[in-house]
Amino acid sequence: MASPSLVFLHGWAGSSASWAPITERLKLKFSIFAPNLPYPENQTLTLNNYCQFVVEYLKSNKIKNPVLIGHSLGGAIATQIASDYPHLPGAIILLSSASIRHRLPKPWRSLQPLISPFKSILRPFRHQILKLAHLDASDYEILNTKSEKDTFRNLIHHDQTPFLSKISCPTLILWGENDTSTFLSDGQKIHSLIKNSTLKTFPNSGHFFYLDNQQEVAQAITDFVKK
């Protein structure tokens, strides 16, 4: 019997290499795939563009009933595919998934038209402003081109909350309890919306908890897939 195919989807501005500590521990047990997701250097992308890239990747590599494993943006891609193509993934595993987006508090939204002319003055405070919307300012600060910035805006405005309850495949949710990029409360909300889901948390760990808990995460994936 062929081993299940695990497809690892990295986060924003990452690469397949970020999964190496985990995939090295799993490669003798499963068929491992880790594509490099497109980066918007010269073109503006949407979440749907990323999903279509993954769907085409699965088709071209003849991968059937995969377990989609996504971190941060990769998790958002996995949940969108599981929602839009319910018969495609056999299961999904979400690591600090960026599936829940937070709007700025209402007082800040009402002020936006008034403060737009003063963007240059407010730029030193963008870290605090982005934090109000549960966004990691470091992600925005590394952007240089218009396509990068437009893609980032597309992604942060795509909240999957209304669609998560449509996901029916088995789902494992893994989260660092001290994550300040995608808060643990987001993971708990995802768990409450996906009926067939399990939530496992990792204390004293943040957004990249899987690098701090490599053996534990690899074992959690193994136990879930083989269940």
Model confidence pLDDT, tens digit, residues 145-194: 889 888 888 888 889 999 999 999 999 999 999 999 899 999 999 999 99
Structure tokens at 167: 């996901």
Model confidence pLDDT, tens digit, residues 202-221: 999 999 999 999 999 999 99
CB-neighbour burial class of residue 150 (10 A; exposed 0-12, middle 13-18, buried 19+) = middle
pLDDT at 153: 82
Nearest to 77 by CA among 41, 38, 30: 38
Model confidence pLDDT, tens digit, residues 167-178: 999 999 999 999
Greater confidence (227 vs 208) lies with 208
Greater confidence (76 vs 1) lies with 76
d(CA 74, CA 156): 13
Q: How confident is the model at residue 39 (pLDDT cuts 50, 70, 90)?
A: confident
Contact status, residue 145 vs residue 174, Cβ threshold 8 Å = no
Model confidence pLDDT, tens digit, residues 110-127: 444 443 444 444 344 444
Instruction: Return phi, psi of residue 16, to 5°.
Output: -60, -25
Q: How confident is the model at residue 141 (pLDDT cuts 50, 70, 90)?
A: low
pLDDT at 103: 60
pLDDT at 135: 46
pLDDT at 130: 47
Q: How confident is the model at residue 108 (pLDDT cuts 50, 70, 90)?
A: very low
Greater confidence (108 vs 58) lies with 58
The C-alpha angle with vertex 177 and arms to 69 and 184, in degrees rounded to 5, equals: 70
Domains of the chain listed by start with CATH number: 5-102+160-226 (3.40.50.1820), 106-152 (no CATH)
Q: What is the DSSP string of 7-74?
A: EEE--TT--GGGGHHHHHHHTTTSEEE-PPPP--SSS---HHHHHHHHHHHHHHTT--S-EEEEETHH
Q: Give me the helices (H) in the chain, please.
A: 20-26, 47-60, 73-84, 106-115, 119-122, 126-132, 137-141, 146-156, 184-193, 209-212, 214-226
